[in-house]
Amino acid sequence: MALLIKTENLWKTYDMGEAVAVQALRGVNLEIPRNEYAAIMGPSGSGKSTLMNLIGCLDTPTDGRYWLNEQLVSEMDDDQLAFIRNKEIGFVFQTFNLLPRATALHNVELPLIYNGTPAAERRERAAEALAAVDMADRVNHRPNELSGGERQRVAIARALVNRPSLLLADEPTGNLDSQTSAEIMNFLERLHNQGNTILLVTHEHDIAAHAHRIIKIRDGQIESDERTR
């Protein structure tokens, strides 16, 4: 099976000026094939988000190499990374990160705006993506008119609207109650069954239990990596 993600000795060091530099990642080697559903676990401050940001092309490593879809993204410049984020990656954040003044529909349209999709097609595809997360009747609502679970579903619709290769979810249920969390996890399950590759960051064992592979990291290094299903 072709690898979707391959990292080679990834380092991320935060230069703190006078103080000692923070080594958030210390040589991470990771291989994730297509249609994987993996969870990254670890205590707070262990480097989970840092790793997610690198994998999501929001940040570049201090050292090491990273291939996404066989492209060496660790060598890319800002605009190329923006292009990769737009085309290959869908983010789901703990805090939803929707634009507060925009409607659900407009929020979902955003990735399409940045790849130049014509307005009519944009609207149609955004509406479809919202329908896929059972939000067809909420397209014109703004985030503050939606519940937490609904907001996260809008975020999932937005993450998927461009049909990315990889769905990155950083603590997607961190701000939700357990019932809504279960609902969101069901969506992720369904998306995985439809063939999506999902990388999930969490520190909760029952959330991680939905994944098929659990990668534990500690102090910026992979501590264990095991298949659970």
Partner 1 sequence: MWREPVTIALAALRSHKLRSFLTLFGIIISVFTLIGVMSIIEGLNAYIAEKVANFGTNVFYVTRYPIITNAKDWLEAQRRNPKMTVEDMEYLQERMTLAEYVGAQDWREKDVRAGKESIDDVGIRGTTPTMVHISTEKVAAGRYIAESDYERRAMVAFVGTEVTERLFPTVDPLGKTIYIDGLPFEIVGVAERVGSVLGQTQDNFVFIPLTTLNKIWGEGPAFDTGPWIGIKCSSPDVMAQAMDEARTLMRARRRQKYDDKDAFGLIASESLTNLWDQIFGGIAAVAVGVVSVFLVVGGIVIMNIMLASVTERTREIGIRKSLGARRRDILLQFLVEASVLSTVGGLVGVLAALGATALVVATTPVPMRTPLGAVILSLAVSTAVGLFFGIYPAQKAARLDPVIALRAE
Ligand X SMILES: Nc1ncnc2c1ncn2[C@@H]1O[C@H](COP(=O)(O)OP(=O)(O)O)[C@@H](O)[C@H]1O
Residues lying near ligand X in the complex (CB under 6 A) are found at 14, 22, 24, 42, 44-50
Q: How far is residue 229's CA from residue 223's CA, in Å, rounded to a whole number?
A: 19
Give the C-alpha separation, 228 to 213, whole Å.
5
47 scored as a contact of partner 1 (CB under 8 A) = no
- Residue 226: which residues within 8 A CB-CB, separation 6 or more? 213, 214
> Binder to Mg ion among 49, 50, 86, 196 (CB under 5 A)?
49
173 binds Mg ion (CB under 5 A): no
Copy the structure tokens of residue 192: 């995985």
Applying CB under 8 A, which of residues 71, 97, 140, 193 lies at the interface with partner 1? 97
Strands (E), the chain: 3-14, 22-33, 37-41, 63-68, 71-72, 89-93, 166-170, 197-201, 213-218, 221-227
**Cβ proximity to partner 1, 24 vs 185, nearer residue:** 24
Closer residue to partner 1, CB minimum distance, 118 or 229: 118
Partner interacting with residue 42 (select from ligand X, partner 1, Mg ion, none; CB below 5-8 Å by kind): ligand X
Other C-beta atoms lying within 10 Å of the C-beta of residue 53? 18
Map residues 101-140 to x or -, x wherever contact with partner 1 holds by CB under 8 A.
x--------xx-xxx-------------------------
Size, binding site for Mg ion by CB under 5 A: 1
- Region at 214 (left for phi over 0; alpha for psi -120 to 50; beta for the rest): beta
Per-residue interface string for the shown chain with partner 1, residues 64-93, x marking contact by CB under 8 A: --------------xx--xx-xxx---x-x
Q: Are 90 and 166 in contact (CB under 8 A)?
A: yes
Q: Site residues (CB under 8 A) for partner 1? A: 53, 56, 58-59, 78-79, 82-83, 85-87, 91, 93, 97-99, 101, 110-111, 113-115, 158, 162
